[in-house]
């Protein structure tokens, strides 16, 4: 039961979204004289940096997910509601949800981002996004479904589109995913599908700019590209998608690839409920905030993480859409709210501390940037694994992930090859050419 405003002893802070930022706000407010109400459409937190490993069968979905109620079981001032937030009424300080109207004293919007297809409806209809556990499972099923379909085709030409896998977007998600699918080709295909030749399966990584991992250093970009090519991935730079009809993907240079599988990782955009003035929405569908993470012109409302655009002199393009940025904002906002509750001044603006960037490119290969320091290869891969392992929520999840990684390292075997829920993609309207 939730008390209304007149019955409560402490201010209520509603946090929309159980991602990295929202969870950090709630955790920082533990044992404080406030009521924390977290709302999410899912009852679990997802460790998104390892989503691609669910999509490629290395990990099960419950290895990267953790129940929100269990996460906060010892936090007495915390409540959770499974609901869809529909509308924000800042004038009345109310949040309209699928389970009713909830009032707040402070509101934190931490709703994250979804896939951005940049208005290409045809691509959106047929390509596979990967921003949720369900979408990752769709990719896992669909990759395996196409391998099964390829087995049924006796003609090499007929098998081609089932064995071409195209990943669009050369950021960390695209690089890590293409490397993992390439390892399926190298280590799993000949074992599970002896009817198919590993040379028939091809993995393409498409990037619209002149380098992959654009947010990392030049060294990391070059090393990652070299690692991908060693795995057999065909990297196409300065190449933009112009269309995809479900059978063939086409590019701005006139080239095309026959394929049934296009995985889209080329962009994200913020997602948030109705009720925010349109003039506050910046590029990428993000909410404009000031240097203290407050939504401009909306009293006691904050936005953090991927959904926020903190446009300041120090961050003219906003903050990077990475977990550490959201977590640091979460801690800052929680303290900012506590200062407001206690009547203390809030003069210090948020400062993001960049701890570095990293990406893995298959087994024994990774790149790490920490300031001007660059690492690559096996040592970088070990650092990548350690950082991600200690960051996963839940002791069980850490153990299961470590065991799965160890087995894969020793056997080169990608374990979970189950089609539990087949993915039914929209049927292409155009004939196969």
Give the active site residues.
Answer: 176
Please tell me the distance from the alpha carbon of residue 147 to that of residue 149, in angstroms, as a whole number.
5
> Considering Cα of 50, then 54, then 57, then 59, what sign does the dihedral take?
positive
65-76: b or e for each residue (b if 16 or more CB lie within 10 Å)?
A: bbbbeebbeeee
Please tell me the distance from the alpha carbon of residue 37 to that of residue 299, in angstroms, as a whole number.
18
Nearest residue to 109 via CA among 286, 314, 267, 269: 286
Element (H, E) at 35: strand 35-40
Nearest residue to 267 via CA among 248, 286, 291: 286
Please tell me the distance from the alpha carbon of residue 246 to that of residue 260, in angstroms, as a whole number.
6
121, 126, 128, 131 alpha-carbon torsion, rounded to 10°:
30
Please tell me the distance from the alpha carbon of residue 248 to that of residue 379, in angstroms, as a whole number.
39
Angle of helix 395-411 versus helix 377-391 axis, rounded to 10: 150
Nearest residue to 35 via CA among 20, 15, 16, 18: 15
The structure tokens 């969870």 sit at: 23
221, 226, 227, 230 alpha-carbon torsion, rounded to 10°:
160
């Amino acid at each position: 039961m939730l008390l209304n405003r007149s019955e409560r002893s402490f201010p209520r802070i509603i946090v929309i979204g159980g991602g990295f930022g929202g969870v950090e706000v709630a955790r920082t407010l533990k044992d404080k004289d406030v009521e924390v109400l977290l709302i999410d459409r899912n009852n679990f937190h997802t460790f998104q940096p390892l989503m691609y490993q669910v999509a490629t069968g290395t990990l099960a979905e419950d290895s990267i997910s953790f129940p929100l109620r269990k996460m906060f079981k010892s936090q007495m001032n915390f409540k959770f509601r499974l609901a869809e937030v529909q509308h924000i009424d800042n004038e009345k300080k109310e949040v309209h949800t699928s389970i009713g109207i909830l009032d707040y004293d402070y509101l934190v919007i931490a709703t994250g981002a979804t896939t951005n297809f940049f208005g290409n409806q045809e691509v959106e209809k047929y390509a596979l996004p990967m921003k949720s556990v369900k979408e990752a499972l769709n990719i896992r099923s669909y990759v395996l479904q196409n391998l099964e379909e390829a087995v049924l085709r006796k003609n090499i030409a007929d098998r081609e589109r089932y064995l071409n896998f195209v990943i669009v977007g050369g950021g960390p998600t695209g690089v890590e995913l293409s490397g993992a699918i390439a390892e399926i080709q190298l280590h799993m295909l000949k074992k599970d599908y002896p009817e198919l030749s590993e040379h028939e399966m091809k993995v393409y990584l498409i990037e619209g700019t002149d380098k992959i991992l654009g947010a990392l250093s030049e060294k990391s970009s070059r090393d990652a590209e070299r690692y991908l090519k060693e795995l057999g991935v065909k990297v196409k730079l300065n190449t933009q998608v112009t269309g995809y009809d479900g059978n063939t993907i086409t590019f701005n240079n006139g080239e095309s690839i026959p394929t049934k599988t296009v995985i889209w990782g080329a962009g994200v955009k913020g997602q948030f409920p109705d009720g925010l003035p349109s003039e506050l929405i910046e590029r990428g569908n993000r909410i404009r905030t000031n240097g203290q993470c407050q939504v401009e012109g909306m009293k006691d409302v904050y936005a953090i993480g991927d959904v926020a655009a903190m446009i300041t002199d120090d961050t003219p393009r906003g903050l990077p859409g990475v977990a550490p940025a959201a977590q640091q904002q979460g801690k800052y906002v929680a303290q900012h709210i506590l200062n407001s509750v206690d009547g203390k001044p809030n003069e210090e603006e948020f400062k993001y501390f960049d701890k570095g960037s990293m990406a893995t490119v298959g087994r024994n290969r990774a790149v790490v940037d920490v300031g001007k320091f660059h690492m690559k290869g096996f040592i970088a891969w070990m650092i990548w694994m350690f950082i991600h392992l200690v960051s996963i929520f839940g002791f069980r999840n850490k153990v299961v992930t470590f065991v799965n990684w160890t087995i894969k390292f020793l056997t080169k075997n990608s374990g979970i090859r189950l089609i539990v829920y087949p993915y039914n993609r929209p049927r292409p309207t155009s004939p196969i050419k």
